Amino acid sequence: MSRRVKDFFVAYLFLVGLPLAGLAVILQYGRQLTAPMSVNGVWTVEADLDRFAQLLCMRPAENGSRISMVISQSGNNVVFHLAGSPQAVNGTIEGGMVRAFSATAKQANDGGCKNAASVVLAARVEHKSEPRTLVGSLSVLGCASCIPVTFVASREALLVKGD
């Protein structure tokens, strides 16, 4: 075999063989990965919204016991934003559990929770129900007088463009 053919063969192995071998390793590793459960979208929250409002410094609910919550998701990271709330709550989803923790506490001035550390949201995703629901509680760390608020949230139907 001539030197030129050997050089071509070596170059071919480096430029084609190594990337293909790397791709095979990446695909093998990727088979073990699973996507997190989807919670992205608009949810309708049913709870004692006056207590919700007190914990999150929201204006009191005007429409009874329901409020809209938007969840944005990127991988395992989620951001909760309740309609009428001045803050968003960041969190994660692991398995069927959603946990969120506000970076800065904003409690109602008259709730006795002025020194509370943070707002904590913990919920379980009921993925077998239709529509998908979240069942959980909202509480304030460091506040003995703040009673946690339990809630149930149902994901609103996704609209498909063109319908």
41-155 CATH: 2.40.128
Q: Determine which of 20-29, 79-88, 134-143 has the lowest per-residue pLDDT on average.
A: 79-88
State the average pLDDT over residues 56-72. Answer: 70
Q: Based on C-alpha coordinates, what's the Rg of the chain?
A: 24
Separation CA 108–CA 65 (nearest Å): 19
Domain ranges for the chain, please list them: 1-33, 41-155
Q: What contacts 93, CB < 8 A, 6 or more positions away? A: 36, 37, 39, 73, 76, 78, 125
State the average pLDDT over residues 131-153. Answer: 83
Comparing 108 with 62, which gets the higher pLDDT?
62
pTM: 0.66
Long-range contacts for 82-91 (Cβ within 8 Å, ≥24 apart)?
Answer: 82/45, 82/52, 82/56, 82/58, 84/53, 84/58, 84/59, 85/56, 85/57, 85/58, 86/56, 86/57, 86/58, 87/56, 87/57, 87/119, 89/119, 89/121, 91/121
pLDDT of residue 107: 42
Roughly how many angstroms between the first and final C-alpha of the chain, as a whole number?
A: 65
pLDDT of residue 61: 56
Q: Pull the structure tokens for residue 72.
A: 């944005």
Are 138 and 55 a contacting pair, CB within 8 Å?
yes
Comparing 114 with 28, which gets the higher pLDDT?
28
